[in-house]
């Protein structure tokens, strides 16, 4: 199991949107503020690359290159945020 940073908190309010947000924060090991910063500043193409690292569905998981591209987007914006 992946070790998440201590400053990552999950909302656990039961809403479907909160579930998606928590899944993305867990997958990319980012905080709410970092996630918000990525969503506000990334282009549509970068957001597609970012979410492409999660895979399309169970029968089509993300490829290594998809994961690498999504991490490049995350690192670009998390670096700017800090």
So where are the chain's domains?
Answer: 32-81
Q: Which residues of 12-33 are buried (b: 16+ CB within 10 A; e: fewer)?
A: eeeeeeeeebbebbebbebbee
Closest CA to 35 of 13, 16, 9, 61: 9
How confident is the model over 29-60, as pLDDT tens digits? 888 889 999 999 999 999 999 999 988 777 78
Q: What is the pLDDT of residue 79?
A: 79
Q: 55: number of CA atoms within 13 Å, CB side? A: 10
The pLDDT score that the predictor gives to residue 2 is 64
Tokens, residue 51: 């979410």
């Amino acid at each position: 199991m992946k070790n998440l940073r201590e400053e990552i908190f999950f909302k656990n309010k039961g809403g479907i949107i909160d579930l998606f947000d928590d899944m993305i924060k867990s997958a990319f090991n980012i905080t709410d503020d970092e996630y918000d910063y990525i969503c506000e500043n990334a282009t549509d193409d970068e957001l597609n690359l970012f979410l492409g690292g999660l895979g399309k569905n169970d029968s089509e998981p993300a490829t290594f290159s998809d994961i690498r591209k999504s991490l490049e987007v995350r690192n670009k914006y998390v670096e700017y945020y800090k």
